[in-house]
Structure 1
Amino acid sequence: MSGLPRLRSALGRARFYVREFSGEAAYDRYVAHARSHDPDAEVLSRRAFEHARTDAREADPREGFGCC
């Protein structure tokens, strides 16, 4: 492998890790899971999904989202 293919491969791996680290891939996994279980199921919008995800994290005392 040389040149452009090697660069594309490296950029693809970097993109994968950035999406996983940032949580962006979580929505894609949610949609894929919902569609695989019920293709006609109504899925949350990305905004609603992120809101529900944040609420769940803040409600979990193990996450440490306490004030002061």
Structure 2
Amino acid sequence: MSVRSALAKARFYVREFSGEAAYDRYVAHTRSHDPDAEVLTRRAFERARTDAREADPREGFRCC
């Protein structure tokens, strides 16, 4: 395995673990279903995601 390949795999796992890839998946999904649809900004997406997570009673309140 080359160093470049190892770094690419590490980057993939870090992005998945941190949730950073969620926005990219959201944009790809939105564009594939309706190319003319308005896509949320990353900030608005993260805000909506946080609000949904905090509103879920199964998660409980989490401050961090």
Q: Give TM-score scaled by structure 2 length.
A: 0.92
Q: Give TM-score scaled by structure 1 length.
A: 0.86
Identity %: 87
**Higher RCO, Cα 8 Å, sep 6+:** 2
Larger Rg: 1
- Moved >4 Å (runs of 4+): none
5+ residue gaps, structure 2, are none
Report the count of equivalent residues: 63
Question: Per residue, is there more helix in 1 or in 2?
Answer: 1
Once the two structures are superposed, what CA deviation does each residue of 1:14-65 show, in whole Å capped at 9, x if it has no partner? 0000000010000000000000000000000000000000000000011122
5+ residue gaps, structure 1, are none
Paired position in structure 2 for 1:45: 41
